[in-house]
Structure 1
Amino acid sequence: MKTAFEFEQIIHLPLMANLATVAEDGAPRNAPVWFQWEEGSLWMLGSKSSASIERIAHDPRVAVEIVQYDNAGGILRHLGMRGRAAIHPMKPDLFKRLLTRYLGPERDWNFWFVSEIARVDDPSGRLIRLEPDTVFTNDVSLFRTGPSLATQ
C-alpha cells in the first residue's frame, strides 16, 4: 500500500540521508550524509578529495533516500529524490545552518569536531547540490496499526 505525503513533513528533520552515486566501473555506491533543504535543492557535505565528490564529477546521476523511522511510534516514511548533482565550493553560511540543524546552537558544538572534521573555513570543503528531477514519498506507517490507523 503506497501512501504519498508532503515531503516537507520530514525534509526539515535532522535525519540521515543516503546518497547513491555511480562509480567509474558502473557499480553503485552509497554514503550516509547530513543535508540541508534550501531554495528547492538538497545540499550535502563533501570535501575536495571525498569519494562521493569524485564519483559525482565523473557521473552526476544520483539518488537520495531519507527515511523517518520510529519503531515504537509506528512511523515509517520514505522520501526519495533523483537527479543530477553539482559540486559547489563551500558556502560558510549554508554550512553553518546545516551544522546547526544536527548539532544545535553553535555555542553547543563540540570544539574538536568543528575544528578538525567539520571546518567551515576548510578550503577543500565542498557542497553537493541536488535540485531533484523527481521526488517521491511513501508512508508505510501501517506495520503496527494496519492501514486504517496509519495516517491518522
Structure 2
Amino acid sequence: MAILMEHDFDVDAVLKRPLMAHLATASTAGACDSPVWFLWEEGAIWLVGTSNDSFPKRLRANPKCAIGVVDFDLERGVLLHVGMRGCAEVLPIDRNRLHRLLRRYLGNDPRGWGETFRTTVIEPLDLMVRFVPETVVARDQSYFKS
C-alpha cells in the first residue's frame, strides 16, 4: 500500500483520466524518461510495451523507478502533479487490461482506432508493466489567469 506523503486533491480522480505519464528509469548511461499511456487499477499503474522496447529491459535490470502524471490546462489555470516512487515488474500481456487501457485514450470502438495504428502499434504489444507506488506526492500547483 502506497504512503500518501502529501496531497492537495483526489489522486484517484486524476489517475482515472487519460493523461500522459512519464516513467523514469535508471540505465548504465544515466536516467531515462519514457512518456507512456497508463491505466490506474487495483492500486497500480499499468503500462504496455513490447519485448523490443528499452524501458522493460531497464526495469528488469533495476525495478526501482518513478512515475509522474500532470494534469495541465492553460485556459483554466490548472496544474495538478502526481509523483510516485516504487518498483515495477514486467508481466505477460493481459489482453482485457490492454483493451481497457486503449479505450481510455482511443475510445470504445476499436474499429475507429485506425488500421495502421492497430497493426503497427497495438498488435506488437506483448507485455505489461505493473508499477506499485510506495510513496505518492500530489500537489496542486494551479494558478489563476488574469
TM over 0.5, yes or no?
yes
Once residues 3 and 54 of structure 1 are traced to their aligned partners in structure 2, the CA distance between those partners, rounded to angstroms, is 32
Q: Give the alignment's TM-score, normalised by structure 2.
A: 0.90
Q: Which of 112, 126, 132 is residue 108 of structure 1 equivalent to?
A: 112
Q: Give the alignment's TM-score, normalised by structure 1.
A: 0.86
> Closer, same or farther in 2 for the Cα pair 1:89/1:3, shift >3 Å?
closer
Pairwise CA distance, 1:3:
6.2
Specify which structure has the bigger relative contact order, considering alpha-carbon pairs within 8 angstroms and separated by 6 or more residues: 2
Q: Which of 89, 95, 99 is residue 98 of structure 2 equivalent to?
A: 95
Contact 1:24 1:55 in 2 (8 A): no
Describe how 1:51-130 pairs up with structure 2 within 5 A.
51-105=54-108, 106-119=110-123, 122=124, 125-130=126-131
Once residues 144 and 72 of structure 1 are traced to their aligned partners in structure 2, the CA distance between those partners, rounded to angstroms, is 8
1:150 alignment counterpart? none
Do structure 1's residue 21 and structure 2's residue 25 form an aligned pair? yes
2:135 alignment counterpart? 134
Instruction: Give the gaps of 5 or more residues in structure 2.
Output: 1-5
Of all paired residues, the percent bearing the same amino acid is 35
1:47 alignment counterpart? 50
Once residues 9 and 56 of structure 1 are traced to their aligned partners in structure 2, the CA distance between those partners, rounded to angstroms, is 27
Larger Rg: 1
Question: Which structure has more strand as a fraction of its residues?
Answer: 2
Contact 1:3 1:140 in 2 (8 A): no
Aligned length: 140
Runs of 4+ in 1 over 3 A off after TM superposition: none
Contact 2:84 2:137 in 1 (8 A): yes
Once residues 61 and 144 of structure 1 are traced to their aligned partners in structure 2, the CA distance between those partners, rounded to angstroms, is 38
Once residues 55 and 79 of structure 1 are traced to their aligned partners in structure 2, the CA distance between those partners, rounded to angstroms, is 22
Instruction: Give the gaps of 5 or more residues in structure 1.
Output: 146-152
Cα deviation, 1:57-110, whole Å, max 9, x if unaligned, reads: 110011000000001111000001110100001000000110000000123211
